[in-house]
Amino acid sequence: MDQHDITINYSFDLANGTKKRFLIRLDPATSLMRPSSNSKAEWTKLATHQCTCCRLDRERIGHCPVAINIADLVTAFRDILSHESCTVSCITTERTTIKETIVQDGLSSIMGIIMATSGCPTLDILRPMARFHLPFATVDESMFRIVSVYLLRQYFIETDGGKPDYHLDRIKQYWRQIEQVNEGMLNRIRYAAELDADKNAIVILNCLAQILPMEIDENLNSLRPFFFRQETPLDP
């Protein structure tokens, strides 16, 4: 397996000619390598709208790791509307993905990977997906990846002598906490951004977090057809 740092380049080319570039660097363990110039704005302090599920100690950790790492994005898009047209490209070592879209969709894609790799204990369950980042993932693609990665995690838990959760009994609890983190980030951004692009990017991520528990309650029936073909009954 490749043990080198992982780089992901995101580019936003807005219809008005504005260009914004962001470089994400992950170490071989898929943790975000933070630039030394990260903002320490008031809204990034851990005590500011601290998430209800937060396990970090505000006496020991002064700033929320997620807020610190999305601060440059929030600043860059604070005066941009969510529905503005743009071309977003995501360049990795393996491939380049380009999409004509709107700002909020591109932002939710890059925010998702930064939040998952920032060192938040609650979001760490999403970190393995960052190595195989899929930009602009649809709801079905996201559900498929999330559940597949979760079940693979259970396999490794079992091989390490732990108790696996192959029946997805605990996954809803994890996602309720992820919802709480998204809501906490949304509350922070409300005080940092003037317009709605950053806020709507978080809303998109939170919608996915809300959909997953409902899908689990429905036994993941939306994914079942990908595995079992519905045969057309023969005429008598």
List, for residues 170-203, the tens digit of each pLDDT value: 999 999 999 999 999 988 888 777 777 888 888 8
How confident is the model at residue 235, as a pLDDT? 54
Supply φ then ψ for residue 88, to 5 degrees: -115, 130
Q: Is pLDDT of 38 > 60?
A: no
Q: Is pLDDT of 1 > 50?
A: no
| Secondary structure of residue 20 in the 3-state scheme | strand
Tell me the mean pLDDT in the region 31-38.
Answer: 71
| Whole-number average pLDDT of the chain | 89
State the pLDDT confidence band at 13, using cuts at 50, 70 and 90: very high
Can you tell me the distance from the alpha carbon of 169 to that of 149, in angstroms, rounded to the nearest whole number? 15
Read off the amino acid at residue 234: L
pLDDT: is 231 or 190 the higher one?
190
Residues in Cβ contact with 133 at an 8 Å cutoff, skipping those fewer than 6 apart: 8, 90, 92, 113
- Ranges of each domain in the chain: 6-226
Indicate the DSSP class of residue 32.
B
Q: b/e for 24-53, b at 16 or more Cβ within 10 A?
A: bebeeebebeeeeeebebebbbbebbebeb
Tell me the mean pLDDT in the region 19-35.
Answer: 90
pLDDT in tens, 149-167: 999 999 999 999 999 999 9
Order the strands of the 96-102 sheet from edge to edge: 19-26, 6-14, 85-91, 96-102
